[in-house]
Amino acid sequence: MSNRPLSPHLQIWKWGPHMFTSILHRVTGDGMALVGLAVLLWWLGAMASGPEAYATFSAVATSIPGYIVLVGLTWAFFSHMMSGLRHFVLDIGAGYELTINKTWSTLAPILGVLLTIAFWAIILLK
């Protein structure tokens, strides 16, 4: 039997906001890459295909499922951005104190939601 240490895994680590924010950062990045790319390509294709194709895109984008996708993409963008800013601060060597790290890990997703609400309030109330 070997006395080598075992690599820690998820059963050993205590879950905290920093782990949630890190996983959320990856999920939102993947979501923007996949769903955002599909919406972008459909939009560009509709613009290039003429008024009828663009009217179809516009009708779908302004339907309830369309708004859900667009709001979801906006939330993914702002959540990813807030988490990215947190990582940027960590990369310069700041914010590693436990209380500061926990505070910013908790605030990053909350700020993503608040920025999404503000963004859509500005768009819809214009």
Domains and CATH numbers, the chain: 17-124 (1.20.1300.10)
Query: What burial class does residue 91 get, using C-beta atoms within 10 Å of its C-beta: 0-12 exposed, 13-18 middle, 19+ buried?
Result: exposed
Say if residues 109 and 84 touch (Cβ distance below 8 Å). Answer: no
Percent of the chain's residues with pLDDT above 90: 81
Given a cut of 90, is residue 2 above it in pLDDT?
no
Q: What is the pLDDT of residue 15?
A: 80
Q: What is the pLDDT of residue 14?
A: 75
Least confident span in 6-10, 48-52, 58-62, 112-116: 6-10
Query: Is the Cα torsion angle 71, 107, 88, 13 positive or negative in sign?
Result: negative
Say if residues 73 and 36 touch (Cβ distance below 8 Å). Answer: yes
Structure tokens at 23: 């996983």
